[in-house]
């Protein structure tokens, strides 16, 4: 079953490269270039990253054409044989500054954290159609999932090596960090959006792209709301995180490259979140990890503290501790318009770089909404 998934993906080129123990000298060249560039243009502090072989780049080193980092069979290869440890090490070392000489056109990484099938995939296919080169897709499915989208799908071959979700939210956060790590290896990716199988786009691709790449000015959209709920003294004990620094927020985020790198390089806070959840059946780390990370890292105005992914939490409509799941009969142009309009039914005038856009994506949409969504997409969302 694992072989089935890997077979069409592992090109002879990829296998050859992996056989030669990730080519360190080549990677070293790319890395030193990117690192020196990063050092000269970034003021961000990353205390916890271990750089095993930083050397000054030699004057003769020339910028290379766009190359995945580490070189591993092309940016098109999502599947690889790296362990989580290797993956995170490489991803932590990848240049974290936008505008490296390796890529010309910045891309948005759409990272889908799913259980298995993606019932709304045909809608996303229409969303991505015609915009090749401006996006990357990564899918983290349950490892027991053996399905595959058809060969002509933009989702084909985009599954990354996944791990079983073992307990509560920790494995969810592990999965989202794994998605970010994979996406960081493609130096073209500048923005990182986490989505689920029940998410839909609210606008067409050019609008989403321009809000995330051009409009946002590098701002990350991680919801981060001050609360002491679920705070445990363990965080003070291990990491000196105070209750005042503790945050809550939606798991679904849109982050810049610097924040995605900080999250995969985080060897300080994540282990505490993990320890805190040990033995707990339901541990809602997914609602606290990224939200608290931006707080303790002092991300300040570089994070908008809100998400661009809508969910209907209205107590009259939600089901228990889950937001409302929209069904086919509710899906109308009016609903899409209402969600786009945001809480005030007008423009979102936050001064956070989203240019008045309240939301770019929305959840949760049941599988049976596919038909109505495809029908109203041209008029309500501007694509299809
Ligand atoms: C990578 O994984 C595939 C499938 O699991 C396996 O056939 C192949 O031998 C592995 N390659 C290396 C270099 O480990
Ligand atoms: C813990 O945080 C407090 C408040 O930010 C600070 O005053 C203190 O020096 C910190 N202690 C350590 C050990 O980092
Ligand atoms: C987000 O919240 C932090 C405090 O946690 C604050 O310093 C920062 O200014 C906020 N960002 C924006 C864009 O308002
Ligand atoms: C939102 O802003 C746009 C452009 O500024 C404007 O055309 C539109 O009428 C505004 N919508 C509302 C509901 O205020």
Ligand positioned closest to the Cα atom of 337 = 4
Q: What is the mean pLDDT of residues 299-304?
A: 95
How confident is the prediction for the chain on average, in pLDDT?
A: 81
Q: Is the Cβ atom of 347 under 6 angstroms away from ligand 4?
A: yes
Instruction: Determine if ligand 1 sits within 6 Å of the CB of residue 278.
Output: no
Enumerate residues 6+ apart whose C-beta is below 8 A from 49: 92, 93, 265
The CA distances from residue 41 to 38, 97, 100, 303, in Å, are 5, 8, 10, 19
Residue 55, both tokens: 């050397």
If you write DSSP's letter for every residue of 114-168 in order, what string do you get? -SS--TTHHHHHHHHTT-TTSEEEEEE--TT------TTSTTTT-BPP-----ST
Contact 337 CB / ligand 4 (< 6 Å)? no
Atom 7 of ligand 1, residue of closest alpha carbon: 3
CB atoms within 10 A of CB 37: 18
pLDDT tens digits, 130-147:
999 999 999 999 999 999
Q: Which residue out of 247, 305, 348, 350 has the highest number of ligand 3 atoms within 8 Å of its CB and is therefore the one to mutate?
A: 305
**Residue 12 above 50 pLDDT?**
no
Most confident among 29-38, 46-55, 100-109, 353-362 (mean pLDDT): 353-362
Q: Closest Cα partner for 103 from 68, 136, 70, 74?
A: 68
Question: Taking 60 as the threshold, does the pLDDT of residue 89 lie above it?
Answer: yes
Distance CA 330, CA 18 (A): 49
Measured in whole angstroms, the distance separating CA 21 from the mean position of its chain's CA atoms is 27
Instruction: Give the Cα separation of 95 and 131 in Å (integer).
Output: 25
Rounded Cα–Cα distance for residues 93 and 38 (Å): 11
Res. 250: pLDDT tops 70: yes
Query: Residue 221 forms beta bridges with which residues?
Result: 254
- 228 C-beta neighbours (distance < 10 Å), count: 10
Average pLDDT over residues 175-198: 96
- The residue that leads in pLDDT, 189 or 281, is 189
Lookup: tokens for 305: 């503290």
Distance CA 260, CA 262 (A): 5
Q: Could you tell me the pTM of the whole model?
A: 0.79
Residue of the nearest CA to atom 5 in ligand 1?
A: 3
Using 50, 70 and 90 to split pLDDT, how confident is the model at 16? very low
CB atoms closer than 10 angstroms to residue 129: 12
Categorize the per-residue pLDDT at 356 as very low, low, confident or very high, splitting at 50, 70 and 90.
Answer: confident
Rounded to whole angstroms, the Cα distance separating 283 from 57 reads: 45
Q: What is the pLDDT of residue 45?
A: 35
Ligand 3 in contact with 222 (CB < 6 A)? no
Ligand 3 close to Cβ of residue 304 (< 6 A): yes
Q: How far is the CA of 340 from the centre of ligand 4 (A)?
A: 12
Ligand showing the shortest atom-to-Cα distance for residue 357: 4
300 touches ligand 3 (CB under 6 Å) = yes
Could you report the per-residue pLDDT of 25-82, keeping only the tens digit for each? 444 444 444 443 433 333 333 333 333 333 333 333 333 433 445 544 444 578 888 8
* pLDDT tens-digit readout, 209-244: 999 998 778 899 999 999 999 999 999 999 999 999
Residue 338 pLDDT more than 90? yes
- H helices of the chain, in order, are 2-6, 12-19, 24-41, 84-93, 121-128, 170-184, 205-209, 234-239, 257-265, 269-277, 289-296, 333-341, 370-376
Average pLDDT on 254-273 reads: 96
Ligand 4 centre and the CA of 341: distance in Å?
Answer: 9
């Amino acid at each position: 079953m694992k072989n089935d998934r890997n077979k069409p993906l592992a090109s002879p080129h990829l296998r050859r490269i992996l056989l030669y123990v990730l080519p360190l000298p080549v990677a070293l060249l790319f890395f030193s270039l990117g690192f020196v560039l990063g050092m000269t243009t970034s003021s961000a502090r990353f205390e916890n990253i271990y750089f095993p072989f930083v050397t000054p780049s030699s004057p003769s080193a020339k910028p290379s054409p766009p190359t995945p980092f580490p070189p591993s069979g092309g940016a098109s290869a999502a599947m690889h044989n790296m362990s989580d440890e290797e993956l995170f090490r490489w991803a932590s070392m990848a240049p974290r500054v936008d505008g490296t000489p390796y890529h010309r056109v910045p891309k948005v990484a759409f990272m889908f954290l799913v259980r298995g099938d993606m019932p709304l995939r045909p809608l996303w296919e229409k969303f991505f159609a015609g915009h090749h080169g401006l996006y990357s897709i990564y899918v983290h499915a349950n490892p027991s999932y053996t399905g595959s989208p058809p060969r002509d799908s933009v989702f084909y071959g985009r599954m990354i090596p996944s791990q079983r979700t073992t307990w509560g939210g920790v494995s969810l956060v592990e999965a989202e960090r794994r998605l970010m790590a994979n996406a960081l290896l493609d130096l073209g990716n500048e923005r990182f959006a986490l989505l689920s199988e029940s998410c839909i786009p609210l606008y067409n691709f050019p609008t989403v792209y321009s809000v995330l790449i051009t409009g946002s000015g590098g701002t990350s959209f991680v919801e981060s709301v001050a609360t002491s709920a679920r705070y445990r003294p363990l965080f003070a004990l291990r990491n000196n995180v105070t209750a005042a620094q503790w945050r809550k927020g939606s798991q679904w985020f849109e982050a810049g490259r610097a924040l995605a790198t900080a999250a995969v390089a985080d060897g300080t806070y994540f282990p505490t979140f993990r320890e805190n959840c040990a033995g707990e059946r339901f541990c809602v780390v997914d609602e606290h990890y990224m939200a608290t990370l931006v707080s303790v890292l002092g991300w300040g105005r570089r994070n908008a503290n809100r998400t661009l992914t809508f969910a209907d939490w209205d107590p009259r409509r939600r089901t228990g501790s889950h937001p409302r799941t929209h069904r086919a009969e509710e899906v109308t142009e009016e609903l899409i318009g209402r969600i786009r309009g945001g809480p005030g039914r007008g423009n979102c005038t936050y001064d956070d770089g989203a240019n008045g856009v309240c939301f770019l994506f929305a959840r949760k949409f049941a599988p049976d909404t596919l038909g109505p969504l495809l029908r109203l997409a041209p008029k309500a969302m501007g694509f299809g």
